[in-house]
């Protein structure tokens, strides 16, 4: 139906006859000559309708925005002074000699070239939202990214293998989306949170190198970078260690940024331990573009006459940390400090102490703070030295359980970086390694896997692992980019005895382990190779690369933050007949459907 895309036309095609298809982006009537900007996925070109072509001109008078057209005409150079340097096609135009209105369009709820559109309206009319050039460009870039990733992995000897969408519910991780079985009354499939177990089984099957761009499902609370269904690039390899895997994955990401954004990432990526990341940045996914760092001062506060500091300083689970903002005393007003105090309460902090360093040369007299009276000179001097404070600096303090201090000051660090324009341009990737193997849940009084229960521990002695789980590190690693975790993985457990020991620590008894993971435990007995892998959040990676603020902007048909689809009105009620077939009874507050 067409010879060219609109965006392909240029000066090399002048005097050529073309057939174009697309949507009316804009129509203008200039005193007897009608101009139409015709848009398709490749771009926009100007169409001219001359009264000398009366049949085409008459039809052009009927055109409105978003009408679907087929145009036949001849390319010519735009008259001098009418060129549009903002368009790739801005040097030429098409003089139409024939037009076919393939479909009219009703007035749209928003203009396609509109910028500030309510997100609910965008999601309700997503097919219109996706026509916008900004959205179209994002999905073209996403397609390029996935193509490059596939090519790289294919050239590295990876096999693209699909794993099941209907699988078994697991006791760890987020809530599963469950699918009732019609043929097995009272039983349910689960949609996969990840292909974790299947890709490990593929390693046991000798596939050696596997990858898959796969949909995953998690029934969890949503944020800007979370969706109930999302896409990940899933990867697994046999006969490797952390170094081999990380080198290949770094090469892949460096290639991607070079090809897509013409950006050279560092080689190799820097690396931080989990503990170091928390101590310096308050986060296990630090944004290295913000130059501010936390400073540990717990040891200085154990004997001060200030319970707010002394109590957490003497608590094995507590922490006192400082965040020094250069020139903060000059740049931040008292109102901003009060606003930051309120800000950290959202992360569980009870308050935000501070010291203004007005004049370093004046000693205690050059400092300003309501907490100075509680701190001896030696403590103050050491704090100033450790934080590398200077005249004009502002030092914030966090004192509480270490988790609260890390989250509050970590968030404050990023907030101040944004407010004071301290965030450096560019890309800052890194690896975070040496994660704890387990974390203790006070509420449930049991251990949980920090990653997942198939992650290998660094210690190979089972007795030592079970005797001291709190100090056990895992062979896990996360790739972080500009403060976002874009990939996470680990070397896996490949021996039955070690896997059984980890299950015991997690409170998964032998009977439950057989019920939930019997197929895995059995497979481990038949010659399982050492293996490991990683999964990249493809939506999040694309979001960062295109400069979007939410993964909803790089997913074709996303859900809202309440897991609804405004376009299709899903989830929805199903008929009583369907429920009976599935042997399900639904109880609601209004009625009961059998």
Tens of pLDDT, residue by residue over 318-342, are 999 999 999 999 999 999 999 999 9
334 a known binding residue?
no
475 a known binding residue?
no
Mean pLDDT calculated for residue range 573-577: 92
Tokens of 238: 């046999």
131 a known binding residue?
no
293 a known binding residue?
no
| Residue 216 near residue 229 (C-beta atoms within 8 A) | yes
- pLDDT (tens digit per residue) in 68-87: 999 999 999 999 999 999 99
- pLDDT (tens digit per residue) in 535-564: 999 999 999 999 998 999 999 999 998 889
**pLDDT above 70 (res 250):** yes
- pLDDT, residue 169, reads 84
Average pLDDT, the chain: 94
- pLDDT, residue 224, reads 59
**pLDDT above 90 (res 391):** yes
CA–CA dist 230, 563 (Å, integer) = 12
**pLDDT above 60 (res 520):** yes
Strands 484-491 and 367-368, sheet pairing: unpaired
537 a known binding residue?
yes
* Of 460, 454, 434, 462, residue with least CA distance to 508: 454
- Going by pLDDT thresholds of 50, 70 and 90, the confidence category of residue 255 is very high
392 a known binding residue?
no
Tokens of 281: 């940045």
- pLDDT, residue 590, reads 56
Burial 433-465 (b: 16+ CB within 10 A, else e): bbbbbbeeeeeeeebbbbbbbbbbbebeebeeb
Mean pLDDT calculated for residue range 240-250: 98
**pLDDT above 60 (res 594):** no
- Going by pLDDT thresholds of 50, 70 and 90, the confidence category of residue 121 is very high
Mean pLDDT calculated for residue range 200-210: 97
219 a known binding residue?
yes
Tokens of 50: 């001359």
- pLDDT, residue 526, reads 95
Question: Would you put residue 171 in left (φ > 0), alpha (ψ -120 to 50) or beta?
Answer: alpha
- pLDDT, residue 32, reads 86
Composition of the chain by helix, strand, coil, percent to 5: 35, 25, 40
DSSP state of 553: G
540 a known binding residue?
yes
Structural domains of the chain ordered from first start: 6-103 (2.40.50.140), 137-271+431-554 (3.30.930.10), 290-423 (3.30.1360.30)
User: Is the preceding omega at residue 268 within 30 degrees of 0, hence cis?
Assistant: yes
- Going by pLDDT thresholds of 50, 70 and 90, the confidence category of residue 593 is very low
- pLDDT, residue 221, reads 76
Tokens of 305: 């006459």
**pLDDT above 80 (res 373):** yes
CA–CA dist 258, 252 (Å, integer) = 10
CA–CA dist 484, 225 (Å, integer) = 9
Burial class of residue 8, CB neighbours in 10 A (0-12, 13-18, 19+): middle
- pLDDT (tens digit per residue) in 5-37: 999 999 999 999 999 999 999 999 987 899 999
Tokens of 262: 């013409």
∠ Cα 100 104 110 (to 5°): 135
Mean pLDDT calculated for residue range 143-171: 95
Lowest pLDDT segment from 223-227, 259-263, 497-501: 223-227
Q: What is the CA radius of gyration of the chain?
A: 30
Phi and psi (nearest 5°) for 478? -120, 140
- Going by pLDDT thresholds of 50, 70 and 90, the confidence category of residue 111 is very high
Mean pLDDT calculated for residue range 505-525: 91
**pLDDT above 80 (res 130):** yes
Mean pLDDT calculated for residue range 223-250: 93
DSSP state of 445: T
- pLDDT, residue 443, reads 87
Percent of the chain with pLDDT over 90: 89
Mean pLDDT calculated for residue range 501-506: 93
Mean pLDDT calculated for residue range 212-227: 85
Helices and strands per DSSP (H, E), number in the chain? 17, 24
- pLDDT, residue 282, reads 98
Place of tokens 């001896």: 376
264 a known binding residue?
no
538 a known binding residue?
yes
């Amino acid at each position: 139906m067409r010879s060219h895309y609109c965006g392909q036309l240029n000066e090399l095609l002048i005097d050529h006859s073309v057939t174009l298809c697309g949507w009316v982006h804009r129509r203008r009537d200039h005193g007897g000559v009608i101009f139409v900007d015709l848009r398709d996925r490749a771009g926009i070109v100007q169409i001219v309708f001359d009264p000398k072509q009366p049949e085409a001109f008459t039809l052009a008078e009927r055109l409105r925005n978003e009408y679907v057209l087929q145009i036949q005409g001849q390319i010519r150079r735009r008259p001098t002074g009418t060129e549009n340097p903002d368009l790739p096609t801005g040097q030429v135009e098409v003089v139409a000699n024939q037009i076919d209105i393939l479909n009219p369009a009703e007035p749209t709820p928003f203009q396609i070239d509109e910028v500030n559109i309510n997100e609910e309206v965008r999601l309700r009319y997503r097919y219109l939202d996706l026509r916008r050039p900004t959205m179209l460009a994002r999905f073209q870039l996403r397609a390029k990214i996935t193509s490059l990733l596939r090519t790289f992995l294919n050239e590295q000897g990876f096999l693209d293998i699909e794993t099941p969408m209907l699988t078994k519910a697991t006791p760890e991780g987020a809530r599963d989306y469950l699918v009732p079985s019609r043929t097995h009354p009272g039983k349910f499939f689960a949609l996969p949170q990840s292909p974790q177990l299947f890709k490990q089984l593929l390693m046991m099957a000798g596939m050696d190198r596997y990858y898959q761009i796969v949909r995953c499902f998690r029934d969890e609370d949503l944020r800007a970078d979370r969706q109930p269904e999302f896409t990940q690039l899933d990867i697994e390899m046999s006969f490797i260690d952390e170094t081999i895997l990380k080198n290949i994955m770094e090469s892949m990401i460096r290639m991607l940024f070079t090809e897509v954004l013409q950006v050279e990432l560092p080689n190799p990526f820097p690396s931080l331990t989990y503990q170091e990341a928390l101590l310096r940045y308050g986060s296990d996914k630090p944004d290295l573009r913000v130059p501010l760092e936390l400073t540990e001062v717990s040891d200085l506060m154990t004997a001060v006459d200030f319970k707010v500091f002394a109590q957490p300083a003497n608590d094995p689970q507590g922490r006192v940390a400082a965040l020094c903002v250069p020139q903060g005393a000059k740049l931040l007003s008292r109102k901003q400090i009060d606003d930051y105090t309120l800000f950290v309460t959202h992360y569980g902090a009870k308050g935000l102490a501070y010291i203004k360093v007005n004049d370093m040369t004046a000693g205690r007299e050059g400092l300003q703070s309501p907490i100075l009276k509680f701190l001896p000179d030696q403590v103050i001097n050491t704090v100033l030295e450790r934080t590398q404070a200077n005249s004009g600096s502002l030092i914030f303090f966090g004192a509480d359980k270490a988790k609260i201090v890390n989250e509050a000051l970590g968030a404050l660090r990023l907030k101040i970086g944004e407010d004071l324009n301290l965030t450096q341009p560019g890309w800052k990737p890194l690896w975070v390694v040496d994660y704890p193997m387990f974390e203790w849940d006070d509420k449930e009084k049991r251990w949980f896997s920090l990653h997942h229960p198939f992650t290998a521990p660094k210690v190979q002695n089972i007795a030592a692992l079970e005797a001291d789980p709190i100090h056990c590190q895992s062979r896990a690693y996360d790739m972080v980019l500009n403060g976002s975790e874009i990939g996470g993985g680990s070397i896996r457990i490949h021996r039955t005895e070690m896997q059984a020991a980890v299950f015991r620590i997690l409170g998964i008894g032998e009977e439950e382990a057989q019920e939930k993971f019997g197929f895995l435990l059995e497979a481990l007995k038949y010659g399982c190779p050492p293996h490991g892998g990683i999964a990249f959040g493809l939506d999040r990676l694309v979001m960062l690369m295109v400069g979007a603020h939410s993964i909803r902007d790089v997913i074709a048909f996303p859900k809202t933050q309440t897991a609804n689809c405004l376009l299709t009105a899903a989830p929805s009620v199903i008929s009583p007949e369907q429920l009976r077939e599935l042997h399900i009874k639904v109880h609601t507050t209004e009625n009961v459907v059998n």
